[in-house]
Amino acid sequence: MKLKEQKSEEFLELICIVCPLGCSLSVVKDNDCFQVRGGCKRGERYAQEEMTNPRRVVTTTLRIKNGVWRRIPVRTSSPFPRDKIPELMRFLNSLEVEAPQKRGDIMVKNLLGEGVDLVVTRTIERRE
């Protein structure tokens, strides 16, 4: 199918991050699906994901009370839908947890119903 014949053309340049080469991929929307050019098979899969369901691991901090530090770093257990990250941040920023907390513990399950948990990444002791 020639690209020139498309009526609705959404042409996007993506940089592939699967391997260190960092190829430039061009993606065109073809009705309901995407045509990817400029990369390898892994790159094409990456581009498809980026266009249909882009996800990112989110790492941030939470407020923590009575700990030796005032912030505790956390991460999502797996990549989270990219476009819902602002909403996720607003939710996480509204939380305040209590010390002590242990690395690896699950702080929140099923964030925003997306099936991704929030994991503690630093052990914070209780302040004396």
Say whether 56 sits in a helix, a strand or coil: strand
Of 7 and 52, nearer to other proteins (C-beta) is 52
Q: Where is 119: in which H helix or E strand?
A: strand 118-120
Quick one: which segment of 28-36, 37-45, 71-79, 107-115 binds other proteins (CB under 8 A)? 71-79
Tell me how far apart the alpha carbons of residues 105 and 57 are, in angstroms, rounded to a whole number: 17
Tokens 């053309």 identify what position? 9
Does 59 bind other proteins (CB under 8 A)? Our answer is yes
Does 33 bind other proteins (CB under 8 A)? Our answer is no
Quick one: which segment of 2-10, 26-34, 108-116, 120-128 binds other proteins (CB under 8 A)? 120-128
For residues 124 and 64, the answer to whether their CB atoms sit within 8 Å is yes
Of 33 and 68, nearer to other proteins (C-beta) is 68
| Cβ-count burial 9-29 (b if 16+ within 10 Å, e if not) | eeeeebebebeeeebebebbe
Minimum CB separation from other proteins for residue 25, in Å? 11
Q: Which residues bind other proteins (CB under 8 A)?
A: 15, 17, 20-24, 56-61, 63, 69-71, 73, 75, 82-83, 85-86, 89-90, 93, 103, 121-123
